[in-house]
Amino acid sequence: ALDHFDAELQVPLPLPYELYLQSFGIDAGQGRSDPRGAEFRELLGRAGRYFEMPLRFGSFASLADPAAEALRAHQYALCGAWIVSRSHELMGIWDGEVAAGLGGTQQILCWREQGVPEAYRFSNRFFPDRGRSAPWIVPAAPGSDFVPQRGGACSPAAQDAPSSN
């Protein structure tokens, strides 16, 4: 989309930049020389803007703890909630599998249809919520039995997924 449709990339990061890199096993101090971060850095450099989500579910120090996976999952869910509430249209690239945890693709797509839980909502003071609408869902793997469709991510498993601690 960036190359063919002159789209602009907006990048909300669920964690501070350094912690986000660490979540992929990339040391922020070595980030420039680590080839695993090359694509991320290249895309971030092409972004019209990028910003970090507020630390609503932990401090920098607590989120940096390797044992804080649950706190980081809440931050990822917060990022998904921001995207859901600020998008005119939402297109999810999903493998059709039931969500494995908090903030996964299925859960975020479901929030678009059914609303974001209170723990992840943002004030609409400056940006009005776009409301609920079924997202477009595109299969993650070409040739799979799962076909593009409007909506349908919400299943009983998605509705029962945890939304807060």
Better pLDDT: 70 or 41: 70
How many Cα atoms are found within 13 Å in the side-chain-facing hemisphere of 152?
A: 14
Residue 71 has pLDDT above 90, yes or no: yes
pLDDT for the residue numbered 90: 85
Q: What is the overall mean pLDDT for the chain?
A: 81
Torsions phi, psi for 50 (to 5 deg): -140, 150
> Where on the phi/psi map is residue 85: left (φ > 0), alpha (ψ -120 to 50), or beta?
alpha
pLDDT band, very low/low/confident/very high, at 160 (cuts 50, 70, 90): very low
Q: How confident is the model at residue 162 (pLDDT cuts 50, 70, 90)?
A: very low
Mean pLDDT calculated for residue range 48-55? 94
The three-state secondary structure class of 129 is coil
- Provide the pLDDT confidence category of residue 78 given band limits of 50, 70 and 90: very high
Rounded to an integer, the average pLDDT of 98-121 is 88
| Pair 152, 135: CB distance under 8 Å | no
Give 157's pLDDT tier (boundaries 50, 70, 90). Answer: very low
Look at 2-6, 58-62, 73-77, 130-134 and tell me which has the smallest mean pLDDT.
Answer: 130-134
Q: What is the largest CA-CA distance in the chain?
A: 44
For residues 29 and 9, the model is more confident at: 9
Separation of alpha carbons 64 and 20, rounded Å:
10
For the record, the structure tokens of 41 come out as 């850095």
